[in-house]
Amino acid sequence: MPAIYPVILCGGSGARLWPVSRKAVPKPFLPLVSKETLFEQAVRRVASDDRFAPPIVIAGAAHADLITAQLGDAPGARLVIEPAARNTAPAIALAAALLPEDAVMLVCPSDHHIADAPAFRAAALDAAALAREDYLVSFGITAERPETGYGYLRRGAPVSGGYAIREFVEKPDLARAEAYVASGEYCWNGGIFAFRAGQLLAELAAHRPEMARLVRAAVNDGITDGLNFHPAAQPFIAIDGDSIDYAVMENTTRAAMVPASMGWSDIGNWAALGDALADQADAAGNVVCGTADLSQCSGVFVMSDGPRISAVGLQDVCIVVCGNEVLITTRDGAQAVGKLPGAVHQ
């Protein structure tokens, strides 16, 4: 059985985790859930297992040094340095164009948390088997609650150890999300994929021919520097960026999914990080990273890089202190943090 090629995407800015996540050191490169960074966890999740090849990491030049440092001595890891951010479809296509066309690629965001790595690897093997049959495969994450911040996949007919995808659904409102969870037919779209490289490029050529042409040109004219690859800037910058879901998954007739129940979170905002650390909560559901005195508080998440936090009477609030910035948001407001002036004007 040929190895699976992990492709680790490092494009996210993590603006909703400001002020800890900042442009210089964004979310993937921070030790949020454990002492390892999310990126280090993403690499380690598929390391030391010969069913997986060394990873291909796709990132911008601004983070190349961080990535090199955090890869450490990971053997054979390659780094593709994007000349500009053009969303996930071009990034994934770059990796596909650098791989043998029959290679199966496993596309993973670098800024998610997965508590159960063996379950992840098992789902990856199922997904790879489907990808070898030229399905374009999404991980369908078990929807544990009516989350309104995620996209959903609706399960269709069984195919070869997985399911066809019957429908892609954008972030729903609460009533709809509750109905999805109750139905049992819907999963979260976790942004994790498996493709045969040649099939992905063929589908991209069919649905986004200009993007496919420009990616191919960027690879053809690119420069290899040891384990690093620099796509040619001019064609890549000319790409009209799009997500892999919009560019390919929602257009192909061969979209499939594998179910995955693996303690997944996209750590999409401070409330989500608090949830991912729930095993550290006190009896009132407060989670503290740093020094805090909480009185009459419940559901409070605190992260401080130094100052003591003292709080009285708060419920369902996230408090984050980092450098010269103090952020306080309700759980419900956490999604809006990325639009605060501090997060926007970094």
Which residues are at the interface with its own copies (CB under 8 A)? 19, 293, 295-296, 304, 306-314, 317, 319, 321, 324-330, 332-334, 336-337, 339-343
Nearer to its own copies, 34 or 296 (CB): 296
Shortest distance (Å) from residue 324 CB to its own copies: 5
Listed in sequence order, the residues at least 6 apart from 260 whose beta carbon sits closer than 8 Å to its beta carbon are 119, 120, 123, 139, 140, 141, 142, 190, 192
Compute φ and ψ for 181, nearest 5 degrees: -65, -40
Instruction: Name which of 52, 48, 185, 25 is nearest 122 in CA terms.
Output: 52
Q: Which two structure tokens, joined as six digits, stand for 330?
A: 């309700």
Q: Which is nearer to its own copies, 251 or 346 (CB)?
A: 346
State the nearest-atom distance from the C-beta of 24 to its own copies, in Å: 18
Structural element, H or E, at residue 223: strand 223-225
Q: In the complex with its own copies, which residue's Cβ is closer, 41 or 269? A: 269
Least Å from the CB of residue 33 to its own copies: 22
Nearest residue (CB) to its own copies, 19 versus 140: 19
Compute the least distance from the CB of residue 319 to its own copies, in Å. Answer: 6
C-beta of 18 vs 195, nearer to its own copies: 18
In Å, the largest CA–CA distance within the chain is 62
Amino acid at site 183: S
Assign 322 to helix, strand or coil.
strand
CB of 161 to its own copies, least distance (A): 44
Judged by beta carbon, residue 84 or residue 326, the one nearer its own copies is 326
Task: Measure Cα distances from 263 to 25, 222, 276, 341 in Å.
Answer: 25, 38, 9, 33
81's CB contacts (< 8 A; 6+ apart) are 59, 60, 61, 64, 228, 229, 230, 231
Q: How far is the CB of 251 from its own copies (least distance, A)?
A: 37
